[in-house]
């Protein structure tokens, strides 16, 4: 971090706690400059693909980064839900605040990375865990087939079963790629966020609402947490429908009547705040972040230690750990990515050794934010 922009080929690593602290410092700095009378500069506004030079919306994005940062620290004694809530209150609250990247979708260079034209997802399939959350076989959504599934996941037309693949095992039955096919057709427009011209989300109001719900729940304000939780799901339904308008042939629209029924179904949204729990909050956040908010989702999974995390006497995530793991894992799951080969293992080996980066099981070492 501190040596990132120096003109050299080797760099010292900073500790993870210092990086988290520095991110908050950079947020403060960004908020200061974004509040100056000279902002926005009209020359920059023309090139602003997120917000068209709207400084208020940029400040909301910065507050969202701060909310994410502070909410990652739930394992720490310094975790303060009030600070998380305050950051959320200054961040995104409606879909109009969302940050996303637009695409023309005419050639590979201006097409969504997930689009059919790019052909990057031909061999990818959604997980059985994600399928279980939407088909109602997961304890977090038991018995509830979520109407969002028809828009978010490809469903085989032969039997209408929502399937997914178990890592290292596969699936019983056909699981289609994210475009809803088994092959790649250049004329296919894709579906949901997996389309040539689909805007790619960076941060959304429903993510912030889920973060706020978790913080309120941890603070003991379950009634407020339930309201945030319901608002997050409400906004995500609208988010899904926004992509349905892009490709109505492949992404069905959730009708207003269906949406009303969803928000009134106690299997999805409890009537009583006492029936809300962290499992529901985190698994609905997982659904909403599916396909785009990978780092935040992985951070949540690591915070709650995949399927081992217990909160209020129940597992937060009930996913299956792959039965086939890398030998060096020794049965453990990965908590971090290995550094890039040349830039670190070749040119920065000495610094890498200082943080245990040369150990064969480096990728299984816990992250700082997971530890008390």
Among 118-127, 212-221, 230-239, which stretch is predicted with the lowest mean pLDDT?
118-127
Q: Tokens for 49?
A: 């693909």
Is the residue at 22 inside a domain? yes
Q: Are residues 245 and 266 in the same domain?
A: yes
Q: Are residues 58 and 121 in the same domain?
A: no
Q: Are residues 104 and 81 in the same domain?
A: no
The CA distance from 153 to 294, in Å, is 17
Residues 198 and 54 sit within 8 Å (Cβ to Cβ): no
**pLDDT over 90 (residue 28):** yes
**pLDDT over 90 (residue 202):** yes
pLDDT tier for residue 160 given thresholds of 50, 70 and 90: confident
Q: Tokens for 369?
A: 């934010």
Q: Are residues 73 and 28 in the same domain?
A: yes
- Please state the pTM of the whole predicted model: 0.96
69-114: per-residue pLDDT in tens? 999 999 999 999 999 999 999 999 999 999 999 999 999 999 999 9
Q: Are residues 163 and 140 in the same domain?
A: yes
Q: What domain range includes position 164?
A: 100-324
Label each residue of 233-274 as H, E or C. HHHHHHHHHHHHHHCCCCCCCCCHHHHHHHHHCCCCCCCCHH
Is the residue at 333 inside a domain? no
Taking residue 357's Cβ as centre, other Cβ atoms within 10 Å add up to: 19
Selected residue with higher pLDDT from 179 and 283: 283
pLDDT number for residue 169: 85
Is the residue at 19 inside a domain? yes
Q: Are residues 146 and 32 in the same domain?
A: no
Burial class (CB in 10 A: 0-12, 13-18, 19+), 40: middle
Q: Are residues 38 and 156 in the same domain?
A: no
Is the residue at 330 inside a domain? no
pLDDT number for residue 213: 99
Is the residue at 3 inside a domain? no
**pLDDT over 80 (residue 159):** yes
Q: Which of 43, 67, 91 is the last residue before a domain boundary?
A: 91
* Structural domains counted in the chain: 2
The CA distance from 330 to 325, in Å, is 8
Q: Which of 91, 125, 148 is the last residue before a domain boundary?
A: 91
Is the residue at 354 inside a domain? no
Taking residue 160's Cβ as centre, other Cβ atoms within 10 Å add up to: 10
Q: Are residues 220 and 200 in the same domain?
A: yes
Share of the chain above pLDDT 70, in %: 100
pLDDT number for residue 273: 98
pLDDT tier for residue 44 given thresholds of 50, 70 and 90: confident
Q: Are residues 23 and 166 in the same domain?
A: no
Mean pLDDT to the nearest integer, 248-273 = 94
Count how many Cα atoms sit within 13 Å of the Cα of residue 34 in the half-sphere of its side chain: 19
**pLDDT over 80 (residue 271):** yes
Selected residue with higher pLDDT from 37 and 146: 146
Is the residue at 331 inside a domain? no
pLDDT number for residue 340: 87
333-369: per-residue pLDDT in tens? 999 999 988 889 999 999 999 999 999 999 999 999 9
pLDDT number for residue 27: 99
Q: Are residues 84 and 160 in the same domain?
A: no
Q: Are residues 39 and 145 in the same domain?
A: no
Q: Which of 41, 72, 91 is the last residue before a domain boundary?
A: 91
Q: Are residues 61 and 189 in the same domain?
A: no
The beta-strand segments (E) located in 30-98 are none
Is the residue at 156 inside a domain? yes
The CA distance from 99 to 93, in Å, is 12
Helix then strand then coil, % of the chain, to nearest 5: 45, 5, 50
54-70: per-residue pLDDT in tens? 999 999 999 999 999 99
Average pLDDT, the chain: 94
């Amino acid at each position: 971090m501190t040596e990132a922009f120096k003109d050299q080929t080797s760099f010292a690593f900073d500790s993870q706690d210092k990086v988290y602290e520095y991110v908050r410092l950079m947020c403060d700095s960004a908020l200061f400059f974004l509040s100056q009378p000279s902002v926005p500069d009209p020359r920059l506004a023309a090139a602003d693909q997120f917000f068209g030079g709207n400084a208020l919306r940029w400040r909301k994005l910065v507050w969202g980064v701060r909310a994410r940062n502070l909410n990652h620290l739930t394992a720490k004694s310094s975790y303060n839900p009030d600070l998380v809530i305050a950051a959320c209150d200054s961040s995104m609250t409606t879909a109009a605040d969302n940050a996303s990247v637009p695409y023309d979708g005419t050639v590979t260079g201006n097409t969504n990375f997930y689009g059919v034209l790019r052909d990057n997802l031909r061999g990818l399939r959604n997980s059985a865990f994600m399928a279980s959350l939407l088909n109602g076989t997961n304890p977090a959504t038991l018995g509830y087939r979520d109407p969002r599934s028809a828009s978010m996941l490809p469903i085989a037309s032969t039997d209408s079963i929502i399937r997914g693949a178990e890592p290292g095992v596969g699936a019983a039955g056909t699981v289609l790629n994210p475009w809803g096919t088994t092959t790649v057709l250049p004329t296919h427009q894709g579906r949901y966020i997996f389309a040539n011209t689909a805007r790619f989300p960076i941060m959304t109001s429903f993510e912030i609402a889920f973060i706020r719900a978790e913080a309120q729940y941890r603070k003991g304000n379950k009634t407020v947490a339930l309201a945030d939780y319901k608002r997050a799901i409400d906004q995500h339904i609208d988010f899904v429908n926004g992509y349905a308008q892009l490709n109505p042939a492949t992404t069905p629209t959730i009708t207003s009547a269906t949406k009303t029924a969803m928000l009134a179904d106690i299997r999805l949204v409890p009537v009583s705040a006492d029936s809300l729990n962290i499992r529901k909050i985190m698994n609905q956040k997982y659904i909403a972040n599916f396909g785009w908010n990978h780092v935040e989702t992985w951070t949540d999974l690591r915070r709650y230690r995949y399927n081992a995390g217990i909160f209020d006497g129940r597992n937060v995530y009930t996913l299956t750990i792959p039965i086939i793991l890398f030998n060096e894992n020794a049965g453990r799951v990965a908590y971090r990515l290995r550094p890039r080969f040349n830039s670190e293992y070749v040119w920065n080996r000495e610094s890498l050794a200082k943080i245990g980066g040369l150990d064969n099981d480096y990728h299984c070492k816990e992250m700082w934010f997971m530890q008390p």
